[in-house]
A = this chain, B = another copy of it.
Amino acid sequence: MAGARYRDIADDLARRIGEGEFAAGERLPTEEQLMAGYDNASRNTVREAVKILKSRGLVQTTQGRGTFVLEGTVPTTVTLVSLPLPSGGGDAARRFDARLEDHAFESTDPRVEIQRSSPGVAAALALPEGSRVVLRHQERFVDGRPWSLQTTYYPMEYVTRGADRLLDDEEIPEGVFAYLKETLGLEQVAHRDRVTARPPDANETAFFSLHDTGGVVIVHDRVGYDPGRTPIRCTCTVYPADRNQLDLVIGAVPPSPWAPGRAASR
């Protein structure tokens, strides 16, 4: 027992969970029982240990019920890129939208705002910092569960050049791609994506029903370009990491090889 007591207890419990002593979905001993089981450690010490397990996503606690070992949920797969190499690609629509397979999804009508561009958005869209951008924000659901938050930024100039439906508080039925091509002749033929992950902020914690501590979100930023390498738009999508994975396919590959669970734990 090298370190702090609560950390030792956490490690021991993690080990016992890993060894199957407490199966997925099962209830852990109560705080009272853990106190007894660990040499009459105080309740606070035991609770500190359980907090670590929560922050590692191993268990979940519910007031009045107990502490439960989380079962690995089957993540939803979002395909960022799917590129059969030889020909250079199937249809463009499949190429340039992050796709969600085998799930119906709903989303709120967009909330539309006009903002002065932040440094990040300005750089992405190659606009002067502080220039106006149109922002369309949607909350998206899968099976009624909160699934992702998406914000797309367009240069305000598009609106003044005729794409005024960008300001509508409604989905554009034919899709923004088709609409921009129709009205402005813009065509997205390339994109650059950035994927990061971080703890959620307060908004995201609330929307995705994550815990105070221990949640993780994946952030996917995409900038789309026209043939002249001019940025067209910039999209930021936030996913809760516990129920999503991102997929890339480059070249000819067989159907998904991913087995449930992780490929490797260390």
Residues of A within 8 A of B (CB): 7, 11, 14, 51-52, 55-57, 75, 77, 80-81, 83, 85-89, 95, 118-124, 126, 137, 149, 151, 153, 189-204, 212-214, 216-219, 221, 223, 225, 227, 229, 231, 234, 236, 241-242, 244-254, 256-266
Question: CA separation between A256 and B14, bound complex, in Å?
Answer: 41
- How many copies of this chain? 2
Known: A195-B248, A241-B197, A252-B229. A120 touches B57 (CB 8 A): no
Q: Which residues of B contact A248 (CB under 8 A)?
A: 80-81, 191-195, 248
Q: Is the CB of A120 within 8 A of B261?
A: yes
Known: A225-B251, A253-B229. A199 touches B120 (CB 8 A): no
Q: Is the CB of B7 within 8 A of A212?
A: yes
Q: Is the CB of B123 within 8 A of A258?
A: yes
Q: Tell me the nearest residue of chain B to A188, going by C-beta.
A: B251
Enumerate 29 A-B pairs (CB-CB under 8 Å) in ascending A order.
A51-B213, A55-B55, A81-B248, A83-B83, A85-B88, A86-B88, A95-B250, A119-B261, A120-B264, A121-B264, A124-B263, A153-B263, A190-B249, A190-B251, A191-B248, A191-B251, A192-B248, A192-B253, A192-B256, A194-B246, A194-B247, A194-B258, A194-B263, A196-B218, A213-B214, A221-B263, A227-B252, A236-B264, A248-B248
Chain A facing B: main interface SS: mixed
Q: Which residues of B contact A259 (CB under 8 A)?
A: 119-120, 122-124
How many whole Å from A238's CB to the nearest CB in chain B? 8
Known: A196-B245, A199-B214. A250 touches B191 (CB 8 A): yes
Q: Is the CB of B198 within 8 A of A57?
A: yes
Q: Which residues of B contact A229 (CB under 8 A)?
A: 252-254
Chain B CB count within 10 A is highest, among A198, A203, A260, for A198
